[in-house]
Amino acid sequence: MHFDVIILGSGPGGYVASIRAAQLGMKTAVVEKESLGGICLNWGCIPTKSLLNSAKILQSIKKNGELFGIKNESIEIDYPKIISKSRKIVDKIKKGVSFLMKKNGIHVIYGKARLKKGKKIEIFKNKKSEEEHSASHIIIATGAIPKIDKNIKFQYNEKKIITYREALSLSSLPKRIIIIGSGSIGLEFAYFYHSMGTKVTIIEICSNLFPNGDQDISDYLKYSFNKIGIKNYVSSSINKIIYKNENYEVEIKTQSENIVLKADIILYATGVIPNIKCIGLDEIGIQTEKGFIVVDENYRTNIDGYYAIGDVIKTPSLAHIASHEAINCIDNIKGLNCQKIDYNNVPKCVYSLPEIASVGYTEQESKKKGFQIKIGKFPFSALGRSISDENTDGFVKVIFDEKYDEWLGCHMIGNHVTDLISEVVVARKLEATSYEILGSIHPHPSLSESIVESIANAYGKSIHL
């Protein structure tokens, strides 16, 4: 069958591209080897937030229940129900995506796709070629897979060394877990398992617990995790992993010594790599570089009619980025004008407790680029809404260019900051200055006041600090 556009993958890039294409009147097909929604919906963004919500409710009751007049003498964890609830949420949203496919007349093809010359794809089911389709345009949106360091010496046991996918559906809670990597995946699972009662240790090769983040945020996160008992080793590498007596012994090299750690389970959270093996790139001649598909600003590969978006190209691996790239890619195919993505104005969030949200340049990056900067901070411990909520951990940090009053960056750590960051994204998009933000009235009491207060602090106008 011939289509105007075929999209490989139905994650937040693929299914959004298919819907946008259908809206513009294109005959559209999406190919999915497993479940609609891709990794994000089925094994990433959505189920992890369900687990983290359970963890936050549990910790809120334990920590503050009696302060708010709620007795909490007999709290019990029903771990299987927590997991089951996350899967039910996935199923509900997956049905929503399926409905959107039908509503927009999108042809869904299940199976593994392999690219062929002449803008064709071959569909394999149970390792057998069963279908062939063609299209005027083919978009590769096959996402990413977990990255595991092949240089580490270890004895592998598939039930004990896991990635995020297995971590979402463990049949029972481990007593001890070692998490390798402290990006968003590692940090979120660290908080979840700790809240459930597991002894958690994080190993990070970088010097910061939150790599590539603002230094002040990383320092506060380390303090916060240490306070609740999440052990962490930064600037540390793994020498070897040995499976012994139904447990793992992990030998790590810190800045000062070698240490042996023990755990029931090891979770690899060292990031992801593009899922582009065995899809026919070599046969077509599509260019790659360091494991990523090379594209131009309109997401076109070096071969006419073939495009790539999301985690398979060298832009930040975030679901919301993939969705915007999807829309822009389709709009460009149709010859429509679209706003180019400013990748420096994309919010990056971690949904642990405390939450982390960041956009723009860090303090270190701002200085490296030669800006003369003004920095303002406001702690949630001085905010009325946070005090009334008994959630006073964290702060908001803003960075402005002293010369032009440009909002260079904003970095937050604390309760609900993943919601607060959107205001900053919009303000930076509209090139708002500190003068304009300070003149914008925010509701009281609210968490959003922390943004205004931090800017006031940067310019020596603080009222409440």
pLDDT tens readout for residues 386-420: 999 889 999 999 999 999 999 999 999 999 999 99
Confidence grade of residue 147 (pLDDT, cut at 50, 70, 90):
confident
User: CA dihedral in degrees (78, 80, 84, 87; nearest 10)?
Assistant: 120
CATH of 354-458, one of 3.40.50.2000, 3.20.20.70, 3.90.650.10, 3.30.390.30: 3.30.390.30
Roughly what angle, to the nearest 10 degrees, separates helices 215-228 and 184-195? 20
Fold that domain 2-146+273-333 belongs to in CATH: FAD/NAD(P)-binding domain (3.50.50)
* Secondary structure (3-state) at 302: coil
* pLDDT one-digit tens code per residue, 54-109: 999 988 888 777 777 877 777 888 999 999 999 999 999 999 999 999 999 999 99
Q: Would you give the end-to-end CA distance of the chain in angstroms?
A: 66
From residue 355, how far is each of 96, 184, 224 by CA, in Å? Answer: 28, 10, 11
Same CATH topology for 2-146+273-333 and 153-270? yes
348-350/306-308 β-pairing: unpaired
Structure-block tokens of residue 382: 């001085």
pLDDT at 150 over 80: no
Confidence grade of residue 245 (pLDDT, cut at 50, 70, 90):
confident
Rg (CA), the chain: 24
What pairs with residue 145 in β-bridges?
273
What confidence score (pLDDT) does residue 74 get?
76
pLDDT at 352 over 70: yes
* pLDDT one-digit tens code per residue, 6-58: 999 999 999 999 999 999 999 999 999 999 999 999 999 999 999 999 999 98
Residues with a known catalytic role? 444
What confidence score (pLDDT) does residue 3 get?
97
* Secondary structure (3-state) at 340: coil
Separation between Cα atoms, residue 383 and residue 32, nearest integer Å: 47
Confidence grade of residue 247 (pLDDT, cut at 50, 70, 90):
confident
* pLDDT one-digit tens code per residue, 414-440: 999 999 999 999 999 999 999 999 999
Question: How is the chain split into domains, by residue range?
Answer: 2-146+273-333, 153-270, 354-458
Give the global pTM.
0.93
Separation between Cα atoms, residue 455 and residue 405, nearest integer Å: 11
* pLDDT one-digit tens code per residue, 257-289: 999 999 999 999 998 999 999 999 999 999 999
Q: What is the mean pLDDT of the chain?
A: 93
CATH superfamily ID and name for 153-270: FAD/NAD(P)-binding domain (3.50.50.60)
Structure-block tokens of residue 426: 């919009």
Cis peptide bond upstream of 174, omega within 30: no
